Structure 1
């Protein structure tokens, strides 16, 4: 479908659906607002693209230690960091993703390089790190990617050898980050990045880097980024389910709500989604205790974290 030149640039950002502790709640809300504002500036500067906007927003979240992505990642069962990320262009349906990549600060940018510089969609593990070295991306030590709190969580969970389901039910440390956007030409894009689940099995890959699960973007419907219990999200291909509901006529918000309810009903799954349609409609839905989110559109920023919240402020797009 042809892009619409009259679309109002819009971006939505999330910081993960989980039981965010009170001591980092304010920082989590501030972080997604900062990322959304930065992405919006890209959208409104010289006709910036949706793809550039979502990458910019997610890079900011990867740099914020409050979030489980990039420099806020967690440790797997072996005490290493394995990160996943995906980015997708709704105009071409091209996507790039990395899984179980180690020792880089911005997995989302490496995922974009997979999309733009290879014939592949996903590169995993050692291969992803070899690709990053070919590109000259700086390697960072594991200690630079992990907070003291993440190490404490690893020590606690490592003792009990809990399964992924038990870890998610504990509602700790599941703050995958993501962004969706539509630009002035009507092109949509999505991006999702995660630092994994504390003490997960080496090599475990969740929904985040899987096309149609952790994220999906199609100019014919819209863009989606997901967060939550990866195994449940993959079971219902959550991101693609949202866009399918939009293709059937549901609004962005209705599609988000319907898809989260479907995941709960079918596999007792918990998580959240953010959505933007090709016309710039937005949707935010989650069934966890909290999910920080922010929407910037037409000079206004809306945001929330607890169920039912929808605050609004004027946003000045200054450089």
Structure 2
């Protein structure tokens, strides 16, 4: 039997101090929510979806409620969910004004022969299953509005995406995600994001791309990534990490390998969480911070700063 693990992240970026406590609280809540679903007999896909919904519903994160704005002040979101047992996956790209894009991604996986739907087609599909658009103002936080206004003063928002250093006004691109393994070694992942502030309308990042924003395979493990989407897509970061895990390397070494490859070859920065099919768990990031939390063996682990690892008994 495998020791079950539920791990989540709240995005790898230069998280400002004003958001530290709320970000940590959010990932702790999401990890506990996912673990409760597992304890109640839920599948790994149920767990991944529930944990990410918790993060999407939290306005501190750039996913669902709290999503950042495109240059034309719209809310366009991406999400993926993947079942490691069957390697089935569902994804949405540039879906508008949906509080929980991960729910739509799961419906695509389970109700259609496709893997991804985008834009208007994704919204129409969602409405067929009772998931309707909401007023975008319900998803937009004051922080998102302020950030867009700030970045409209500049012509290039790419700088902060590729620069790991602190910046007075960091671009918020705090994708959220979950990776899970149960007692039988079944795995799943889910990732969701509102993208990057002032992105071009229709821009799609790594989050809904299999092998980039997430990957799950029961023969190896599951991964959810975060950071600069353009770099993560070029590096196929999630698949890279799983491939290294498949050679017998431990989870942390595999994540470091992927991040190092992305930095040296593409000058991109980010982070990832992962579980192996044997119950190993790890997280790493090359950005200033990444809030993360996981539950294993009756203990809650969490952190946000480099090298920080706090453990609480449940």
What TM-score range do you get, normalising by the shorter chain? over 0.9
Q: Is the 8 A contact 1:164 1:200 kept in 2?
A: no
Q: Deviations over 1:9-43 (max 9, x none)?
A: 11110000011111110000010000000100111
Q: Secondary structure at the match of 1:192?
A: strand
Deviation at 1:159, TM superposition (A): 3.1
Gaps of 5+ in 1: 1-5
Q: 1:53 aligns with which of 27, 47, 52?
A: 47
Q: Is the 8 A contact 1:15 1:175 kept in 2?
A: yes
Q: 2:21 aligns with which of 17, 26, 35?
A: 26
Aligned counterpart, 1:136: 130
With the length of structure 2 as denominator, give the TM-score of the two structures. 0.96
Aligned counterpart, 2:294: 295
Instruction: Verify: 1:225 aligned to 2:235, yes or no.
Output: no
Aligned counterpart, 2:35: 40
* More divergent stretch after superposition (250-259 vs 238-247): 250-259
Q: Deviations over 1:177-222 (max 9, x none)?
A: 0000011221100000001111100111010000000000000100
- Distance across 2 between alignment mates of 1:158 and 1:33: 34
Aligned counterpart, 2:149: 155
Q: Is the 8 A contact 2:187 2:217 kept in 1?
A: yes
Q: 2:113 aligns with which of 114, 119, 122?
A: 119
- Distance across 1 between alignment mates of 2:104 and 2:182: 22
Q: Is the 8 A contact 1:227 1:273 kept in 2?
A: yes
- Distance across 2 between alignment mates of 1:86 and 1:188: 14
RMSD of aligned residue pairs (Cα, Å): 1.1
- Distance across 1 between alignment mates of 2:161 and 2:222: 29
Q: Is the 8 A contact 1:94 1:115 kept in 2?
A: yes
Say if 1:167 and 1:254 are closer, same or farther in 2 by CA, change over 3 A.
closer
Q: Secondary structure at the match of 1:204?
A: coil
Deviation at 1:161, TM superposition (A): 2.8
Gaps of 5+ in 2: none
Q: Secondary structure at the match of 1:159?
A: coil
Aligned counterpart, 2:87: 93
Q: Is the 8 A contact 2:161 2:269 kept in 1?
A: no
